[in-house]
Amino acid sequence: MSAFFREVLWQRLRRNHMAMAGAAIVLAMFLLALLASMIGRDPGAIDIAHRLHPPGFEFPFGTDDLGRDVLVRILYGARISLMVGFVAVGISTFIGILLGAMAGYYGRWIDSLIMRFVDIMLCFPTFFLILAVIAFLKPSIWNIMIIIGLTSWMGVARLVRAEFLSLKERDFVLAAQAIGARDARIIFRHILPNAISPVLVSATLGVAGAILTESALSFLGIGVQPPTPSWGNMLIAGKQTLGTAWWLSVFPGLAILITVLGYNLLGEGIRDAMDPRIRD
């Protein structure tokens, strides 16, 4: 991206109040995740004397059935959710860019082979594919991140392929080919920087999707395992006492809702800012 384009993008994004609200939520979640390590309190510390303590001054979000501070566990759970989101999206984006660039640049049988593989992967419902893979592996945070990344790259690959098909016919690419530039240099130095805009939007929205997937897997008991705090396993723990200890489900649920909403608002705002059809 050129400096001028980045300036125009920032000006458009700044005028989009919903996008800025999403950016504020994302930034707040980052700060809260960092705050977790600075609190100095153990999220797994058991205190039976304060078991199922309702929200109050001492425990703003209450305590669970083992006397653990729900607010501290939500803060530590933010670290888990953000790590899962970014690592999973990083894996899926890397695979999608690599395969999409190869398909769009080389075309012919390489394009056909890669896109048929994409079609096959899209035939399987992603969540059930993740469930099937996890059934053969030990549930852990690293397995969750890798599996989500390996099963969510198809959309990025299709976006990158479409951009490469359009850009490889431009004059600057033809000029690079004419002077004998290598394919790798043309792909990564000339075409990819101009095709990164839709990937950025997809990655932002993908973080929200990865957080939801991890929360759903943890809620089913095959994601992040206790005693490691995760918003999903906090929800399932609160299910048993929903009638008497509502805070065990409400606060982790709100954390998931607000975080996913923030990333969706930011992603939509970036997409609108990058759309040339939208005039200032």
Q: What is the mean pLDDT of residues 157-178?
A: 85
Q: Is residue 110 part of a domain?
A: yes
More confident residue, 158 or 131: 158
Residue 196, pLDDT above cutoff 90 = no
Residue 266, pLDDT above cutoff 70 = yes
What mean pLDDT, rounded, does the chain reach?
83
Q: What is the mean pLDDT of residues 145-151?
A: 88
Query: Mind listing the pLDDT tens digit for each residue in 68-111?
Result: 888 888 988 888 888 888 999 999 999 999 999 999 888 888 88
Query: Mind listing the pLDDT tens digit for each residue in 212-226?
Result: 888 888 888 787 777
Confidence class for position 4, pLDDT limits 50, 70, 90: very low
Residue 2, pLDDT above cutoff 60 = no
Q: Please name the residue that has the structure tokens 């300036």.
A: 7
Q: Is residue 175 part of a domain?
A: no
Query: Mind listing the pLDDT tens digit for each residue in 5-61?
Result: 566 667 777 787 888 888 899 898 888 888 777 776 777 778 888 888 888 888 888
Q: How many domains does the chain have?
A: 1
Query: Mind listing the pLDDT tens digit for each residue in 236-251?
Result: 878 777 778 888 888 8
Residue 128 belongs to a domain with what CATH number? 1.10.3720
Q: Is residue 128 part of a domain?
A: yes
CB 104 within 8 A of CB 165: yes
Q: Is residue 51 part of a domain?
A: no
Q: Which domain holds residue 151?
A: 3-40+66-159+195-274
Q: Is residue 14 part of a domain?
A: yes
CB 211 within 8 A of CB 81: yes
Q: Tell me the C-alpha distance between 93 and 152, whole Å.
A: 9
Q: Is residue 171 part of a domain?
A: no
Tell me the longest C-alpha to C-alpha distance in the chain.
Answer: 77
Q: Is residue 107 part of a domain?
A: yes
Q: What pTM value is reported for the model?
A: 0.84
